[in-house]
Amino acid sequence: MNTRIAHLLVTMTIAATAVSMPAVARAETPTAAEKAQILELLEVTGIKQLMGEMSGMMLSQLQTMAADVPDSKWDELKPRIAPSNLIDMSIPVYARHFTSAEVKELVAFYRTPLGQKTINAMPAAIKESMTVSQQWGRETGNSIIEELKGEGYEVKAPSRPPHPGARP
């Protein structure tokens, strides 16, 4: 996998994990000041840039899928794919999960040398951890299955859910 794409996927995973953590209940719309703080967080962590790259990758993929569409139509559609749309949709999510003070602390942290190292090193660490996790799951699962079979237990193959596009 391309390093830049891996970095993009891991960074987005980190962001998704951060915003899915238990939240302080906040139903209100973020203030202009909170929006600015969150935008600063997205900038300092590189998430804003990655959202721009995602937008470009999406446009490129769509253009590949629909090669006969003229440039004038793509020019008409580009505003819908603009990264600002994703950023605007993400800001309230961050506001629901982080207080203004927490966003301020996160920005301060990510501006430190350790914060920058975290941004740069975390994608590789997560990728390596995923590889180790897959290996562990495969080896441990196979070992347990063999042990159970050796003791005379019946072990059935896991049932797989039907493919989303499959018909019943």
Please report whether residue 157 resides in a domain.
no
Let me know if residue 42 belongs to a domain: yes
Residue 131 lies in a domain: yes
pLDDT given at position 115: 96
Residue 16 lies in a domain: yes
Q: 3 vs 131, which has greater pLDDT?
A: 131
pLDDT in tens, 83-95: 999 999 999 999 9
CA 59 to chain centre: 18
Q: What is the mean pLDDT of residues 10-15?
A: 55
- pLDDT greater than 50 at residue 21: no
| Backbone torsions φ then ψ of 29, nearest 5 degrees | -75, 140
Is 108 a member of any domain?
Answer: yes
Give the percent of the chain with pLDDT over 90. 75
* Region 115-119 average pLDDT: 95
- Examine residue 161 and state whether it is found in any structural domain, yes or no: no
| Number of folded domains that form the chain | 1
Does the residue 162 lie in any domain?
A: no
Is position 165 within any domain? no
User: At residue 156, does pLDDT exceed 70?
Assistant: yes
Q: CA-CA distance, 95 to 35, in Å (whole number)?
A: 8
Domain that holds residue 145: 3-150
Q: What is the mean pLDDT of residues 53-76?
A: 94
pTM of the predicted protein model: 0.68
